[in-house]
Amino acid sequence: MVGDAAHGTLPHSGNGAAQAIEDCSVLTGIFLRLTSLNELEAAFKAYDQVRIPRSQKIVEITRSFGRLYSRDPDEIVLDEMEAEMREGGMYINGVDMEAQVESAIDAFERFKEISN
């Protein structure tokens, strides 16, 4: 499963489809190196190792965006809101997919060695 099916999130960051694309990029990088179905467990362990931390942080950021959007307008401090949204947006949009794919491939190779 990829995208919202793998790590469902609220709509407040508009990032569900992007997560699916990131997931597929990582899986493609790993799957291109599969030489046997016996390596699938190592492939999915590598995928989890790379994708779970990022996807869960995006879930947390999106939740915080939702809280910001639902605040009472009289309680909003614009500078604080802007800073929180800028920081979250930089994390969400600042991904280095090449590095994620390479990290997943390295993890895949390690997990393959362990399982042999």
- How many domains is the chain partitioned into structurally? 1
pLDDT score of 23: 95
Q: Which domain holds residue 7?
A: 3-115
Q: For residue 96, how many other CB atoms are within 10 A of its CB?
A: 9
DSSP string, 21-77: HHHHHHHHHHHTT--SGGGHHHHHHHHHHHHHHHHHHHHHHHHHHHHHHTS-GGG--
Q: What is the tens place of the pLDDT at every residue in 36-94?
A: 999 999 999 999 999 999 999 999 999 999 998 888 888 888 899 999 999 999 999 99
- Average pLDDT (24-29) is 97
pLDDT (average), residues 27-35: 97
Alpha-carbon span 42 to 68, nearest angstrom: 39
